[in-house]
Every structure is written in structure tokens, then in C-alpha cells.
Structure 1
Amino acid sequence: MFLHKIDEELSLRLFNVNDAKEFFNLTIQAKAYLKEWLGWLDYTNKEEDSLEFIKATLNGVIETGGFPKTTAIIYKGKIAGIIGFNELNKTHRIGVMGYWLGQEFQGKGIMARACQSYVEYGFTELGLNRIEIRVAEENRKSRAIPEKLGFTKEGTIRQAEWLYDHYVDHVIYGLLVDEWKNKK
């Protein structure tokens, strides 16, 4: 099982089917908060929905030849959120990263540390040349992560996503492996 310890309180690990209840509860607790920026929450209504998602993440390991695309963020033994590559393009060696945290876990530096670790994983283990993060333009907390990690703001895609009753623009951030190596 994939487990990456970041520090004494934080690690990333592969989801397993026994996580369905805890992950569902985290999602439901954060639903109102997350709905401002994530468009899939209306499809998570019962524990089985989280279980199906977890099974899909496990299939992603097969797709990548044994490397997880998505992992649970574990903070002090609890599932705090999720991080992963929503898209992986093997031909062009590009990964598009996504993430979210439960509201009670905000403001502790968890996501910045998890993203930094996932960027390293993408460049070293997956052999990516480019990592992108796409964030709703008004989502200041999520935008702070790539900005803190040295990603370049590359532009804005207008009306990139439908969120329940309106469109939101996405800001695209990119980091190349050579840039990442030079910053290390």
C-alpha cells in the first residue's frame, strides 16, 4: 500500500474501501463549504457514492502501472482531504493536480505541505515534465497554494466550469520540472 510520510502529523496514503464511511462523513460535513468551488457534490449523497469513488481511485493505480493518481491526506490519523492528479497525459508528461480539505483542517499548512510533496512525487516518480493546477478565479485559498509553491500564473480560461447555477473562470498555474529543480 502506498504511504508517504511528510512529517510527524501529515502523510499521504492510498485510499482503501474501509475509508468509505470516514471519507463520506468528511465530504458531507464540508459539503456546504466545498460547494462554492466544486461541482460534483450533488453526486455524493450516500456512503456508497464515496465507496465508488474510492474504487475508481484504486483503478487509477492500475492505469498508471502501480502509481497512485489520488491519495488521502492524513492529518493526525484522520482523513483531512484529498489530493491527486485529475488528469495524467503520459504522451506529453503532464499532470493536472486537484485537491481539497475539510473545513476543520484549514489554516494549518496541510495543503501546502501535501501539494509540495505531490509535486515532488509527480516529477520524480511519475516522470512528469509539467504540472498544472487549475483554480476558480475567486478561490483565493486554493490559488495561494500554487503561488506559494512557485508555480507560474499562465492565464485564465473564461467560463471554464459550471457550478450549479453559474459559470466560473479558472486560473491556470504551471510548473515545469526544470523550474522545480532550479528552485530546490
Structure 2
Amino acid sequence: MDVQIRPFQSTDGESFYSSVTESLAHLGTWLPWCHKDYSIEEAQEWVKYSIEQWQSGAEYNFVIEDLDSQKILGSVAINQMVPMHRCGNLGYWVNQSVLGQGVCVKAIKQLLHYAFADLGLQRIEIHVLEENYASNRVAEKLNATFEGVQRHKLFFKDRPYSAKCYSLIPADIGIE
């Protein structure tokens, strides 16, 4: 499957909503914003937020799109940026229907090129709950460097959890 990433557009609300609700069972376990009552209004607010954040340079949220059908297959993002140190955090998820097809890794590779070559970032961090095997597997497939488990790194379901920390730098994807 050929995919591309692109910034959110104001017309993405309904497609994004469909993408999220298709995958509630898969995503809801790990993403608190993804719940059984997720609404079209929440999707439209996210699209608006993503466009505003992009315009301000605070974070860069992308949709993952199937090149043939233009269907939204998930999202990848660089957020929690620290401009002084030229680093950011990588977030990602894909629809349940495309799990195991390499969609997430393909999209992230495009995002990494943008983050390192266009934004000039020098480090991307990935923080994953230890039990989130699918997201940990994505980090491994990217050949991200595992740096250890950080205690109380992520606040999830009203309590702190330890998370695995991975990193990527430009040289990891062939950018010097």
C-alpha cells in the first residue's frame, strides 16, 4: 500500500472522524481521547487545532493517506517540541484495518525526513507505554535506539506510568 502524509486540511473532519471510530477498540486502549462517545465535533476541533498548531510552528500533525483512495489511515505527529535543543516527540497511530501492513513505518519515515531536513530537528524521541506492544514494535522497526525505561514518564488513565524511551537522529535515516 502506498501512503503519503500531509498536513490536516479544514475539510478533513468527517474523514478523520471515520478513521478514528473505525479503530475505537484498537486505539481506545492507549489513547484516552479515543473513546466510545468520540464525536464528529471532537474530530473537527482536532482538525482546527492541528491547523493552528502547524501555523504557529508549535507542532506538526499529519494525516496518513492512502495514495489510491485518499482515505485517511491514521496520523503521525511531531509535538512537545523543544526549539532550544532542536528536538521533538513522535506520536503515531493507524487504523485497525491496516495494522501489520507497514503503513505506520512508511508514514513515519516521511515524517522523519521532514522533521530533520525541513525543520532542522536533531533528535526525535518516542515514548511508549511498556505494554503497548504494537507501538513498541513500530519503534523497533524504525531501528530507533532504545534508551531505557523512564519512570513516571506518561500520565495515563489518571496515574503516572513508566514508558520505554527511544530516539532517532538525522544520521539514523541517512541525513548528515
Q: Take 1:114 and 1:140, find their aligned partners in 2: how far apart are those partners?
A: 19
1:176 deviates by 2.0
Q: For structure 2, which runs of at least 5 residues remain unmatched after alignment?
A: none
Q: Take 2:37 and 2:147, find their aligned partners in 1: how far apart are those partners?
A: 32
Q: Which residue does 2:128 correspond to in 1?
A: 135
Q: Which residue does 1:38 correspond to in 2?
A: 31
- Quick check: 1:102 aligned with 2:95? yes
Corresponding pairs, count: 174
Q: Tell me, yes or no, if the aligned pair for 1:44 and 1:50 is still in contact at 8 Å.
A: no
In the superposition, the TM-score normalised over structure 1's length comes to: 0.84
SS in 1 for 2:45: helix
In the superposition, the TM-score normalised over structure 2's length comes to: 0.88
Q: Percent identity?
A: 29
Q: Which residue does 1:21 correspond to in 2?
A: 14
- Quick check: 1:73 aligned with 2:57? no
Runs of 4+ in 1 over 4 A off after TM superposition: none
Q: Tell me, yes or no, if the aligned pair for 2:79 and 2:91 is still in contact at 8 Å.
A: yes
Q: Take 1:71 and 1:165, find their aligned partners in 2: how far apart are those partners?
A: 27
The within-5 A match list for 1:1-184 is 9-42=2-35, 45-64=38-57, 69-75=60-66, 76=68, 77-164=70-157, 167-181=160-174
Q: For structure 1, which runs of at least 5 residues remain unmatched after alignment?
A: 1-7
Q: Take 1:142 and 1:124, find their aligned partners in 2: how far apart are those partners?
A: 24
1:54 deviates by 0.6
RMSD of aligned Cα (Å): 2.3
SS in 2 for 1:118: helix
1:167 deviates by 5.0
